[in-house]
Structure 1
Amino acid sequence: MLRTHPKSRIALSTALLLSLAACGGGGGGSGGFLPTGTTAGTGSGTTGGGNSGTTAAAKLNGIAATGAAFAGAKVTVVDQRGVTVCTTETDAKGAYECTLPADTKAPLVVTAARDDLTLYSTTASATGGNVNVTPLTTIIVSRLSPDGNPASLAGAIATKPDTVTDSTVKQQVAELVAALKPLLTLLGDAVDPISGAFTADGSGHDRLLDSISVSVRPDGAGANIEITVKAVPTSEDAAPLSISFRSDATLPALPQSVATATLAPAGASLAVASLFDRLTQCFALPLSKRVTAANDSTAVTGGPDQVIATECRTLFVNDNPASYLSNGSTVGRDINNQGAFAGLFRPGATGVKYDRGEHQFFRANGDQVLSYRTTDGTGAVQNQTIVARDVGGTFKLIGNQYNYSVSVAPTVQDRDFVSAPAYNYLSVSYDVSIPNRKDGQGNAIFTKAVVTAPNGASYTYKPGAGNANLVVDKPDGNSASTSLLRLAAGFRDTSKSGSPADFESSYFLSPQLSDEQLRQLPEQGAFKVEFFHVDTNKANVVQTHRMITRVPTIAEARQLKFADLTAGMRNEIKGIAPAQALVFDAPTANEPSLVDFSAEGDLDAWTVPDGAPAPTAFTVYGASSSSVQFEDKVDVASSARKAKVYCSSEGGTDNHCTTINGNSVYNGGTSINLFQLSATSAQQVLFLKGFSTRIPAN
């Protein structure tokens, strides 16, 4: 049995969900969706059998954009032979240019990859010209690929080059145009998505990209594709305008009601980019210039009135930080480092950069939910969202104006039983995170929260001992000790019978949803949360929270790449197998107990492959000696590959911690049986990789 004082060394990995959100800038240009001659840039109209015989250097160029310029993306061009004939990078406007070698053999596949998102395009010619790379061209590549996976097309053309010809590409363009016709008519867009010229400035064709969200999800047999129009909804929980289809099926048309949709105005993406540029400028100021502070090196507490810099105050509606409210938080910082934009009051946040801002969807009042990325001085990255308001063409921060904190994230989880790999499984969930708020005496203020999903099903969440968040109730009324509402699960080993729900105590929907039912869940689905107070004199509060994207199906989840433990870390977890848990000895003053999740020699505990969101949190789960369950979480830098966790008590009956010399440490007999890393994609999809010490029995 492994017992520990100061160290319990043990990592995460996360994955990639191909979800493409169109947003940003764009603009006009020549070309049409249905060219009468050869596609622009295809020279003599080669149909996939090689070059036209020219000896002049062929220039391939285009724009990579999701609406917003896909800046800093790695562009790769692969020809029919499987040879990479060009590698370059997009500039700040999403533009790229390649000089193709003389022996380049058509057709070509072009990819633009950045972090956990890859866009695809193709051309039937090797004579150069314009080849854009966008979510729309990714749909075309998916529909040309034999298995629906855009990443498969490069391999397919090696053995069957006539997969990509002038005629096959034009046919796919024509079908896509027909499906989008109501929106194209509304926007007056007639630019060929692959060969047409446009600029990522929020006008013309780029405004079309700004006005839609596209997801392409391979599942091994094809791909599930959805196009959602980013229009102002009639109510907070109204279903969005969208179409969904399989990669090998006939494209349905967008509803005619799109013609009257209220969309973001031309150039809105530039205004979004400007907002995050202004945020960067605010945080570039020294602490004492941002807020009332005696110096630039000591954090301070305060509220919105202590924000003094014009560059910072003008970020908010009415140029007043007091107008901002989000999930119960106002602008400020308390002694616990809590508050909206608490970084304004901390020297460590100086120099934080904000970028990659994209409009994701509207709220019913016209406010917009924007996604963005922050990068701090250590290189740590966070993907987040915020609510802003268009005030005369300038975006100002307003928040969701809700009093209580809620986040709903589509979640994909890979559970790894390190000493019993036959039980490894994937599950897909909604993570409904509702902090267990306390009053001044440490008592919970909610008796429960009733959560209504987009399909109308309701679930009850209640306070749970040792849990920082409310946890979902099982049908029998017992607490599930998790905020995850697991919709479906499947073993990694597809030949294994039964279900993970047979041996897991966590909540699983019963019956679980099939992949077809999961596929029918909407993008931008809205959850309604009703809060019930301990103080019955307080009226119930109802809030609506919309997601950016849906959960993946199990088949889609099987296509995702997950990081893994380092070999050293995996061996250390295997060493716990006899006890099936890491158990702490009684701490002493010289050996206070904490979790040191690193391989022997203070080496890395986990690795993260290219294309996967990097973990930004590490959580340990276990129980006290009196069987009270708990979870302890620590944020980690996206560049980190190891972590330390200190004990954190939730009060009440939670006794897994004790205090030595004023420090909270793990109590003797406390056990840990799950180590989990989490990451969040730009689409706010939560990726969980959990490593369990247990050996299940069913």
Structure 2
Amino acid sequence: MAGATVVVKDSSGAEVQTCAPCTVGSDGLFSVELQATAKAPFVLLVSQDGSDEPQVSMIDTAKSATVNVSPITTLIAARLSPSGDPAQLTAADSSAAKIATATTDIKTALQPVLEAAGVAADANPLTMVFKADSTGLDKALDILGKPTIVRNSEGKAHVEVEIKTSGSDEATDADNSPAKIGLTAGAAAPVATGITLAKMQATLPADGVSLKIQKLMQRMQDCYATAPADRRPSGATLASQITAEACKAMFVDNDPSKYLHNNTVVSQSKANVGGRFSGAFKGIFNTLQGIRFDQPEYRYTIKNGNTDPSDLSKPVTGDVVFTARWTVTDPNAGDSLGQSDVSEYHARVQNGELKLIGNQSKHDLNINAQARREEMPAVANYAYMATGYNIGISERRWDHDKNSSTAKVSMYEQVVVTSPSGRTFTFKPITGNNYDYLGLVNQEGNTTTSATVMLNGAYLNAATTGHPSERFTKVYWGSKMDWTEEAIKAIPAQGNWQFDITLTDDFVKAPENTGTAKNFPQYRRSINRAPTLAELQSVKWPALKDPVKAALSAQAANPGFVNISSGDVAALAVIDGWDVPTGAWAPTYAKVYGNKNNVGWDEGVDVASTARKVSIRCTSAAAHCATAPADAGKFLNAGYGYLQFSGRDSKRLQMSLNYSTRKTSSD
């Protein structure tokens, strides 16, 4: 919670902290002095970047004291709050007796977690002193997810915290059942599901993991703080050419060339690395000097039966998976300044330190829970929200005929994906070479251009009847009867997904294939679940400014595209602009889609989370891009019909906000 803001409210409901702002230090500690007139009891609210629900705590004395703020104290606050909403807790509901009762209720529900972590039975999670070193109470907090809060129309709330269970990326991990605790306003007691002592003992990380993650992030930051000329020779593109010890120290065996994650190696963007994707940690090779890594979150420890840590060909038991936010801080970075995202890292313990190794997979496979909002200004009543999963399977093509004048073909025949609940989805190569991912095969057996399964959805306008799946049939929808709110809630945040890969016969027989069988499985473990529709109702979204929305609405008539360039005058695509309300997620990528000469195209660009306007360049050699050297990067006689903003929220949920010029309310 480093850098988070602390607010203290007293018995009158007034803010009584004297610092402005009060912030949490890098060690997780904070100190707040109160105004002389402040009166106990007190409620503390700690927020990070304005996008999180605040973590809440309370104390019943005005004397100098220790008070902790964590998911456990937030559950205690939810238990105390008459509405069940921890953020609405008032001092009037925080008497010493009430706090003691609520604390006992939560400790009872979490007893297996606390016992497994070695927390004394009489310890008070509100006031006990502990260190942020992945021992004792801190170890228990490592595996507690951020609280999810769902508020109903009556102002009542349901609060849920899921346990981050350890497991493997292999089929040997058969337990995909979630472990969680839930609180509902007015309920007799908290409800604990799947929280057993044996499961918690198997789930807890090794001692000191949080400190090891912090130290690894510092080494990563030190690498990017090194002068570019000292990181690698001029013109270097490969991991083997990195010279800075600060950068080498990030990786297993101090060797960047041993890193492999989803078929991506450490290299400069667009480097040719033996058929593998390029661009992991590409910032090492460019001129950026300054990337901050913060907000680390332990996710899980791999436990798959592979016990040899010297085996660098696959994940092994004890490998640690965590997420962290990166932000470009170099003042000379131009448009890249402020670009930020949350990335997932796989690391191995070597000589007491965590070192980056990746998942060592030669296939780029990803599972991301996704929330989507589709807006159509010209037919606004049919705007909808949807929840589901983006299943990313990056295409891999090979030169089957050794003829540079003919197109390369896919090495994949198909990939069948099995979810933690046993549902299967089939993906196949999309006809033509315009897509860099495999497409979902729909219920009719046709390969689509989508890689997203929408489990359920709802119109934004409650007066609009029906279900979005009945009108927008090009979207791949799960059955709304199967994927009820309760069914979605039952999906584990961390569960294993199996990818059964089938390669083409031609590739299996080709010399380029170095022994890979035709059929084999791969595994990925999700780190969050798709939100319920009720949870989506509480999401705060960025929004286009009215002039841009008006342009989309006006162009719903022919030709159906918002003009970028016309009359042979080349131009960039300028989106000006959007707003990000307090508490909303911020876009980190913008993309426009169009069609010229009956050929679809798309162009996108990274966006700083602080940006509210963006210029998108035209990067392909297709007809929608200008070819004159003086107009490089500009569009020519083109327009867009679909605008997409994407990013992630604080829980690393993939967010997608889309606007279109469509004028019809159905496909």
TM-score bracket relative to the smaller structure: 0.7 to 0.9
Distance of 1:186 and 1:280 partners within structure 2 = 34
Correspondence for 2:28: 94
Secondary structure of 1:168's counterpart equals helix
Corresponding residue number in structure 1 for 2:429: 463
- TM-fit CA distance, 1:109: 2.2
User: What amino acid sits opposite 2:265 in the alignment?
Assistant: T
Superposed counterparts of 1:269-348, under 5 Å: 269-293=210-234, 300-333=235-268, 335=270, 338-348=278-288
Match of 1:510 among 468, 476, 479: 479
1:180 to 100, 110, 119: 110
Structure 1 residues 405-414 or 190-199, which shifts more? 190-199
Take 2:174 and 2:640, find their aligned partners in 1: how far apart are those partners? 40
Which deviations, in whole Å up to 9, do the C-alpha atoms of 1:426-473 show, x marking residues without a partner? Answer: 111101122223335443332332221121111122333543322222
Deviations 1:404-434 (A, max 9, x none): 1122111111222223221121111101122
Q: TM-score, normalised by structure 1?
A: 0.80
Q: Which amino acid aligns with 2:190?
A: T
> Which one of the candidate residues 405, 418, 435 is aligned to 2:377?
418
Contact in 1 for aligned 2:494/2:528 (Cα 8 Å): yes
8 Å Cα contact 1:371/1:383 also seen in 2: yes
Match of 2:403? none
Q: What is aligned with 2:160?
A: 225
Paired AA for residue 284 in structure 1: A
The 1:335/1:475 distance shift into structure 2, 3 A limit, reads closer
Amino acid in structure 2 at the alignment position of 1:506: V
Alignment CA distance shift 1:275-1:236 (3 Å): farther
SS of corresponding position for 2:45: strand
Partners of 1:580 and 1:673 within 8 A in 2: no
Query: Does structure 1 retain, via aligned residues, the 8 Å contact 2:261–2:358?
Result: yes
Residue 83 of structure 1 corresponds to which residue in structure 2? 14
Q: Deviations over 1:604-625 (max 9, x none)?
A: x011123333211012234444
Q: 1:370 aligns with which of 312, 322, 326?
A: 322
Report how far residue 229 of structure 1 moved: 4.4
1:334 is displaced (CA, Å) by 5.2
Say yes or no: does 1:533 pair with 2:503. Answer: yes
The equivalent of 1:572 in structure 2 is 551
Over the residues paired in the alignment, what is the CA RMSD in angstroms? 2.7
1:133 aligns with 2:69: yes
After TM superposition, the score normalised by the length of structure 2 is 0.84
Aligned residues: percent identity? 27
> Shift of the alpha carbon at 1:369?
1.0
Change (3 A) 1:566 1:95: same
Q: Name the aligned partner's letter for residue 595 of structure 1.
A: A
Judge conservation of contact 1:372–1:384 (CA < 8 Å) in 2: yes
Quick one: distance in 1 between partners of 2:177 and 2:293?
Answer: 28
Specify every segment of 5 or more residues in structure 2 that has no aligned partner in the other structure, as ranges: 273-277, 304-315, 331-336, 400-406, 509-516
| Distance in 1 separating the partners of 2:279 and 2:259 | 11
Q: What secondary structure does 1:97 align onto? A: coil
* Cα deviation, residue 262, structure 1: 5.5
Distance 1:543 1:664, change over 3 A: farther
Matches within 5 A, 1:211-250: 211-220=143-152, 221-233=156-168, 235=172, 238-239=175-176, 242-247=179-184, 248=187, 249-250=189-190
AA paired with 1:255?
A: T
Provide the residue aligned with 2:492 in structure 1: 522
* Post-superposition offset of 1:553: 0.4
SS at match of 1:100: coil
What is the identity, as a one-letter code, of the residue corresponding to 1:144?
A: L
CA contact (8 A) 2:238 2:271 kept: no
Give 1:278's aligned amino acid.
Answer: R
Matches within 5 A, 1:391-430: 391-430=350-389
Distance 1:290 1:354 in 2: 18
CA apart distance, 1:630: 4.2
- CA–CA distance in 2 between the matches of 1:580 and 1:515? 40
Q: Tell me the residue number matched to 2:311.
A: none
> How many residues matched?
603
- Partner amino acid for 1:194? L
Match of 1:644 in 2: 615
Q: CA deviation at 1:584?
A: 5.7
Aligned counterpart in structure 1 of residue 451 of structure 2, from 458, 467, 483: 483
Q: CA deviation at 1:148?
A: 3.0
1:480–1:506 CA contact under 8 A, matched in 2: no
Distance 1:265 1:277, change over 3 A: same
Instruction: Determine the structure 2 residue equivalent to 1:207.
Output: 139
Q: What is the CA–CA distance in structure 2 between the aligned matches of 1:398 and 1:149, rounded to whole Å?
A: 41
Between the two structures, name the one with larger relative contact order (CA 8 Å, sep ≥ 6). Answer: 1
Q: Which residue of 1 aligns with 2:591?
A: 619
Amino acid at match of 1:688: S
State the shift of 1:213 in Å: 2.8
Q: Deviations over 1:280-327 (max 9, x none)?
A: 11121122221232xxxxxx3432211122222222112212221111
Q: CA deviation at 1:517?
A: 0.9
Question: What is the CA-CA distance between 1:564 and the residue it aligns to?
Answer: 1.2
Alpha-carbon deviation of 1:681?
Answer: 3.0
Aligned position for 2:413: 447
Alpha-carbon distance between aligned partners in 1 of 2:453 and 2:257, rounded to the nearest angstrom: 35
Distance across 2 between alignment mates of 1:585 and 1:328? 36
Alpha carbons of structure 1 residues 171 and 122: separation in structure 2 relative to 1, 3 Å: same
Distance 1:212 1:240 in 2: 16
Q: Secondary structure at the match of 1:660?
A: coil
Code of the aligned partner of 1:426: M
